[in-house]
Amino acid sequence: MNGTQQLLTHSLDTNEQTLRDYFTKTPDLVYCHLLIGEPKKRALLVYLNTLVDKNSINNNIIDPLLFETKQIHTIADIQLPIGSKSYTTKWEHVIQHVFQGETALFLDGDNQVLLLDTQGWPQRAIAEPQIESSLKGSHQGFIETCEKNIALIRRYLPHQQLKIEETTVGRRGHTPVSLLYLEDVAHPEVLQELKDRIEQVDVDTIVNTGELMQYIEDNPFSPFPQFLLTERPDAAVSNLLQGRIVIVIDRSPSVMIGPMTFITFFQTVDDYSTRWMIASFLRLLRLLAFFMAIFLPSAYIAALSFHYEIIPLNLLLTIGESRERVPLPPLLEAVLMELAIEMLREAGLRLPAPIGQTVGIVGGVVIGQAAVEAGIVSNIMVVIVSLTAIASFIIPNPDMSESIRLLRFPMMIAASLFGLVGMVIGFMLIIGHLISLESLGTPAGSPFAPARLRDWKDTILRFPLWMMRTRPLSARPTQLTRQKKFRK
Amino acid sequence: MKKCIYAILCFFIASGCGMKTQLDELTLALTVGLDEGKDGKLLVYSISPVFNKESKNIYEVIRTVGMTPRDGRSKANAFASGKIVGGKAQNIIVSKTFAKKHDMFSYLDVFFRDPKNSTTANFIVFDGPLKELMYIRLDDKPRLSVAIRDVILNGHINKQTTKINMLLFHRLSLDRAQTPFAPILKVHKGDLVAAGIALFNRQRKYVGSLSQKESPYFAILQKNIKPATSLTLAIKGLTKQKEYVSISVEHGEFSYKPSFRNGVFHFDVHMKLGVIVTESTTYIDMKKEKKKVEKWLAKEIQKQLESVVKKLQTYEADPIGFGLYARAYEYRQFQKQKSWSKAFAKAEINIRPTVEIISYGVLQ
């Protein structure tokens, strides 16, 4: 409607007519006619009853208006017990705010509209994060409302340097996007880069955080994620303190964090609340899992197709016996099983919990036993596939875990065509890609490439917290000191 | 796009599918045997595992007659169900009669020259015609190749024999200062037995052997004591009767001092052995008589070691590596020798072991 650029008129009837022209086929839009003040003056209350808190409207707006005894000249004379309100004369604002669950109060003879904050859409209670279970950290997870999510973060950082910048993305959705950062730590260039990229996004709407991520990431052809998605406020805060920027998107239960490095996807915020030796062991375990998940099936294929010499004799005999009835070459055998386990995983993921169990049983019995007994695959292959699957589940970040699962298929093909040499080339390509990968213009390979030895304290091993006195350089923080030296 | 092309090009310089050696299509020659047939021709045996549940045997033995081992393998390929490869070979076995007649090195050449063959295979001498071993049926043992390997390795650990892999055999064959050796395997009442050590001369021909009883002393001379070397010694003690004391040598310190006097090499071999008494058939108070017992033990060990060395000298075989010491300390004299073996046979070797008893055991 081209009327949205226009201004309101002084006539209530004209205004109502404009509204009715605009909101056609909008049955949830409520027009509530009131006579307020002494002498009575006509007023109109407009709201979308699906998006408002009805209690608030009844008690805080309609009730005081009905019992208003003062004379009302202009809309500014109306006093209502609602904290957040604004005035506008533009149709554009009226419509946008009504769609966001605010209530518009029109007064006859006034071209200003009072917009009252009465939002009350359906929302979930704050609950334990579903995807990233928390062992030691907070058990509050982000929900679908931006304000609540910001509140969760602010609780950790009640500090004036925590800045929030709001903007909207999407022509239709007007998705509110908030950037949170520590002004004295986050690098202004990185922040500007992020803001520029978000500004350029011109889409209908952003339904979920993952969508925005794909629009603004550095290298869309990389298999690796370049932003971290988390639904844990403690993880977000931990990253804020490292000088990274948290992007909270309304209507989405996960927040996006950038710039990220490759190694941060192997860290969890729980690491920092675990004693350093245990945390270091877990880090090593995850890195081992990373290599296992990528290379184990391909190593099996390479060894069986090219380099039988590298298998110790006793294992070779076991493999030989186990593969005796298998009609498929190693590559097909491995791809078949890997696909089967991926299907199982995907099937279990989307199914409701009661049926999900059935998938596990069917998969376990059919693939684990029947396939081996039928002689389609070998025992060793089942062991390898299971190990690979478990290894990929150890990676704490689901995005990274999925990237790794995907990468092992090209690796398997390379191994079956070129053996160990193919695996090595594949590995070199991955390494080369990781070195050149960037996240918001900062190197994603940091602190390995470029090598920043000081930051290695928080990579393969997690040094004791009191030894990590500086923030990692990867996010280019402007203030490096994280803590004073207070312990020897 | 350019990057993509480079990435793909990377793979094209790699070795291709033609080099594929699918495990399923291979016949792994785990044991290779060389023997002489009736008319002087070379018999090549190879044992490979069979993974088919329908077949009765878990391994197959292929026998071919050829001019060389490689020739034999080429002929064997006609029999085998897959391409025969030697990359996982565990044992290379030659029969004693064959080893007596021929220079082993030239027959083993293919195992050194072709990099696809394993150089860590054990080299073994078999006492008897090889078909006795190849067609043996061991119902209570794993696959024959594994069983042979295990017998030799176990024998080596317990010092009942020794072991030598192809790489070491290669080095000893070419080294002027040493001669090769090998474990002996024989079949005794249908069972595999490790039976001492075969000695080769400079020409890599079999010349003689050390018995199973002499093997531990051979190991001691090689300074190969770990994990422990068990000896049973007959000593005439207080009672003047035949008594036996078993000891386990735990550690030792050695010094080999060569010198050249009056035209012959002299070796002063000193060794300090730390032993644990594990068995004694007499009732002597070891604690009181410690010094005496130590002396008796040392004397008996000396006797045994000297007899082993004497034997080596008569065979003109130096598997211990006395020549290495001679070359290191008396290089000029060593260089003058036309043949180290001959010089070794004439050498004076004094062995002076001392024994220190670490422990007498728990209960007495």
Q: Identify the pLDDT of residue A1.
A: 45
A286 and A249 together in one domain: no
- Which residue in A219, A221, A308, A437 has the most chain B C-beta atoms within 10 A of its own C-beta, making it the best mutation to test that interface? A308
Find the CB nearest B87 among A308, A324, A326: A308
- 3-class SS of residue B106: helix
Distance between CA atoms of A342 and A289, rounded to whole angstroms?
17
Burial of A300 (0-12, 13-18, 19+ CB in 10 A): buried
Architecture label for domain B213-364: 2-Layer Sandwich (3.30)
- 3-class SS of residue B198: strand
Q: Identify the pLDDT of residue A367.
A: 76
Chain B residues near residue A428 by CB distance under 8 angstroms: 10
Chain A residues near residue B10 by CB distance under 8 angstroms: 425, 428-429
A307 and A413 together in one domain: yes
A418 touches chain B (CB under 8 A): yes
Chain B residues near residue A417 by CB distance under 8 angstroms: 11, 14, 16-17
Q: Do A313 and B26 touch (CB under 8 A)?
A: no
Instruction: Enumerate the domain spans of chain B.
Output: 21-212, 213-364
Distance from CA of A342 to the nearest CA of B (A): 26
DSSP B271-313: EEEEEEEEEESS---TTTTHHHHHHHHHHHHHHHHHHHHHHHH
Q: Do B51 and A320 touch (CB under 8 A)?
A: yes
Distance between CA atoms of A34 and A42, rounded to whole angstroms?
6
A330 touches chain B (CB under 8 A): yes
Question: In Å, how far from its chain's centre is CA B103?
Answer: 17
Local confidence pLDDT in tens for the 488 residues of chain A = 445 568 888 888 999 999 999 888 999 999 999 998 888 889 999 999 888 988 889 998 999 888 888 888 888 888 888 888 889 889 888 888 888 889 999 998 888 899 998 888 888 899 998 888 888 888 999 999 999 999 999 999 999 999 999 999 999 888 999 999 999 999 999 999 999 999 999 999 999 999 999 999 999 999 999 999 999 999 999 999 999 999 999 989 999 998 999 999 999 999 999 999 999 999 999 999 999 999 999 999 999 998 898 999 989 998 988 888 888 889 999 999 999 889 888 888 888 888 878 888 888 787 778 888 888 889 899 999 999 999 999 999 999 999 999 999 999 999 998 889 899 999 999 999 999 999 999 999 989 988 999 899 999 999 999 988 899 998 899 988 888 888 86
Q: Over range B173-198, report the average pLDDT.
A: 92
Residue owning tokens 């064997």: B76
A179 and A50 together in one domain: no
A254 and A284 together in one domain: no
Q: Identify the pLDDT of residue A325.
A: 85
Chain A residues near residue B143 by CB distance under 8 angstroms: 317
Per DSSP, B165 falls in state B
- Which residue in A407, A411, A418 has the most chain B C-beta atoms within 10 A of its own C-beta, making it the best mutation to test that interface? A418
Q: Do A417 and B16 touch (CB under 8 A)?
A: yes
The residue of chain A with its CA nearest to that of B10 is A425
Phi, psi of B143 (to 5 degrees): -50, 145
Q: Do A306 and B20 touch (CB under 8 A)?
A: yes
Q: Identify the pLDDT of residue A79.
A: 85
Q: Do A419 and B17 touch (CB under 8 A)?
A: no
pLDDT tops 80 at residue B239: no
Residue A412 lies in a domain: yes
Take residue A393 and report the two structure tokens written for it: 């589940």
Find the CB nearest A321 among B19, B26, B51: B51
Q: Do A316 and B90 touch (CB under 8 A)?
A: no
Q: Are strands B26-28 and B83-85 parallel, antiparallel or unpaired?
A: parallel
Distance from CA of B16 to the nearest CA of A (A): 6
Chain B residues near residue A429 by CB distance under 8 angstroms: 7, 10
Find the CB nearest B49 among A320, A414, A428: A320
Length of chain A: 488
A245 and A300 together in one domain: no
Q: Do B28 and A316 touch (CB under 8 A)?
A: yes
Is residue A216 within 8 Å of residue A198, measured between CB atoms? yes
pLDDT tops 90 at residue B281: no
Q: Do A422 and B11 touch (CB under 8 A)?
A: yes
Residue owning tokens 């050590």: B197
A370-391: burial string, b at 16+ Cβ within 10 Å, e else: ebbeeebbbbbbbebbeebbeb
A419 touches chain B (CB under 8 A): yes
A88 and A57 together in one domain: yes
Distance from CA of B11 to the nearest CA of A (A): 7
A238 and A313 together in one domain: no
Residue A162 lies in a domain: yes
Is residue B330 within 8 Å of residue B290, measured between CB atoms? no
Domain count, chain A: 3
Helix axes A276-305, A379-394, angle to 10 degrees: 150
Residue range(s) defining the domain that contains residue A194: 146-260
Does a cis peptide bond (omega within 30 degrees of 0) precede residue A39? Answer: yes
Q: Is the dihedral of CA A47, A50, A54, A60 positive or negative?
A: negative
Distance from CA of B23 to the nearest CA of A (A): 5
Residue owning tokens 């500004």: A199
Chain B residues near residue A313 by CB distance under 8 angstroms: 30, 88, 90, 146, 149
Chain B residues near residue A324 by CB distance under 8 angstroms: 51-53
Q: Do B15 and A305 touch (CB under 8 A)?
A: no
Find the CB nearest B10 among A320, A326, A425: A425
The residue of chain A with its CA nearest to that of B145 is A313
Q: Identify the pLDDT of residue A124.
A: 87
Residue A476 lies in a domain: no
Find the CB nearest B20 among A305, A317, A324: A305
Find the CB nearest A418 among B14, B24, B90: B14
A314 touches chain B (CB under 8 A): yes
A421 and A322 together in one domain: yes
| Beta-carbon count within 10 A of A40 CB | 11
Find the CB nearest B14 among A320, A325, A421: A421
- Residue at a domain's end among A260, A294, A315: A260
Distance from CA of B77 to the nearest CA of A (A): 19
A365 and A429 together in one domain: yes
- Residue at a domain's end among A206, A227, A260: A260
Q: Do A306 and B87 touch (CB under 8 A)?
A: no
3-state secondary structure A206-226: CCCHHHHHHHHCCCCCCCCCC
Residue A128 lies in a domain: no
Q: Identify the pLDDT of residue A137.
A: 85
Residue A125 lies in a domain: no
**What is the C-alpha end-to-end distance of chain A, expressed in Å?**
69
Q: Do A317 and B146 touch (CB under 8 A)?
A: yes
Q: Identify the pLDDT of residue B330.
A: 92
A224 and A286 together in one domain: no
Does a cis peptide bond (omega within 30 degrees of 0) precede residue B227? Answer: yes
Nearest in space to B118 (alpha carbons), one of B145, B91, B147: B91
Q: Do B23 and A308 touch (CB under 8 A)?
A: yes
Surface of B (104-133) touching A: CB under 8 A: 118
The residue of chain A with its CA nearest to that of B20 is A306
A398 and A285 together in one domain: yes
Surface of A (268-307) touching B: CB under 8 A: 304-307
H or E element that contains B101: helix B96-101
Is residue B32 within 8 Å of residue B134, measured between CB atoms? no
Distance from CA of B311 to the nearest CA of A (A): 37
A373 touches chain B (CB under 8 A): no
A421 touches chain B (CB under 8 A): yes
The residue of chain A with its CA nearest to that of B150 is A314
Q: Over range B20-35, report the average pLDDT.
A: 88
3-state secondary structure chain A: CHHHHCECCCCHHHHHHHHHHHCCCCCCEEEEEEEECCCCEEEEEEEECCCECHHHHHHHHHHHHHCCCCCCCCHHHCCCCCCCEEEECEHHHHHHHHHCCCEEEEECCCCCEEEECCECCCCCCCCCCCCCCCCCCCCCCCCCCHHHHHHHHHHHCCCCCEEEEEEEECCCCCEEEEEEEECCCCCHHHHHHHHHHHHHCCCCCCCCHHHHHHHHCCCCCCCCCCCEEECCHHHHHHHHHCCCEEEEECCCCCEEEECCCHHHHHCCCHHHHCCHHHHHHHHHHHHHHHHHHHHHHHHHHHHHHCCHHHCCHHHHHHHHHHCCCCCCCHHHHHHHHHHHHHHHHHHHHHCCHHHHHHHHHHHHHHHHHHHHHCCCCCHHHHHHHHHHHHHHHHCCCHHHHHHHHHHHHHHHHHHHHHHHHHHHHHHHHHHHHHHHCEECCEECCCCCCCCCHHHHHECCCECCHHHCCECCHHHCCCCCECCCCCCC
Q: pLDDT tens across B49-97, in order? A: 988 877 888 888 999 998 888 988 888 888 888 888 888 999 999 999 9
H or E element that contains B264: strand B264-280
A375 and A304 together in one domain: yes
Surface of B (8-27) touching A: CB under 8 A: 10-11, 14-17, 19-24, 26
Chain B residues near residue A329 by CB distance under 8 angstroms: 22, 24
H or E element that contains B331: helix B331-336
Question: What percent of chain B is modeled with pLDDT above 90?
Answer: 61
B88 touches chain A (CB under 8 A): yes
Find the CB nearest A418 among B11, B28, B52: B11
